Every structure is written in C-alpha cells, then in structure tokens.
Amino acid sequence: MLLPLFGTTNPGCGMGGVGGGVGREACCGVGREACCMEGCGEELVKTISRMSPSRVVYVSCDPATLARDLKFFTENGYTPKEITPCDMFSGTSHVESVALIERN
C-alpha cells in the first residue's frame, strides 16, 4: 500500500480509474487524511477539493492528464509535493506516475 510512504494510513477513499466521472472513488469524507485515486478530471478535482483531504495520492498513466489535473488541483488550493515515475512496463514507452498533492 502506498499511503504509509506518504505519511498516512487513513486513505478515506478507494482507488480506481474514474476517467473524468464522479463515482465511488470520490468517497473521501471531510477531514480525512488522504484520498488515493487514479485519473480524474476537473469535476472530480473540484469534488475532492470540497471534501478537503489534507493529502491526495494521485496515480496517472498519462503525463498530459497528470499535468492537466495538477493544474486543476493547484487552482483549488493544493500543491504538488512529489512526483515519482514508476516503470511498470519495461521495454515500452508507458510510465505510471505517483504524485503526492497536499492542501495549502
């Protein structure tokens, strides 16, 4: 589990691809320590920002959508603290990225 690496053991949210939709992955309760998610979009970023977790662990397989969503998080009171690329598919051009985003 990634969360202990980011200083928390209370995720308060599931992890799964959401492709821009607001589904069960947006289940963080207000005051939770962290939200762990994969992919999203502007509407889900706004929803998570309203729920106000102190940390978001964001997993992305696309650098372009990661950049887009980090911009949305920044506009909604969060700051990217660390981004770690993970080569899970060696021999291909695909790279997963894990970002730690914290509320300002």
- Which positions are catalytic? 61
**Distance between CA atoms of 74 and 66, rounded to whole angstroms?**
12
Residue 41 zone, left/alpha/beta (φ > 0; ψ -120 to 50; rest): left
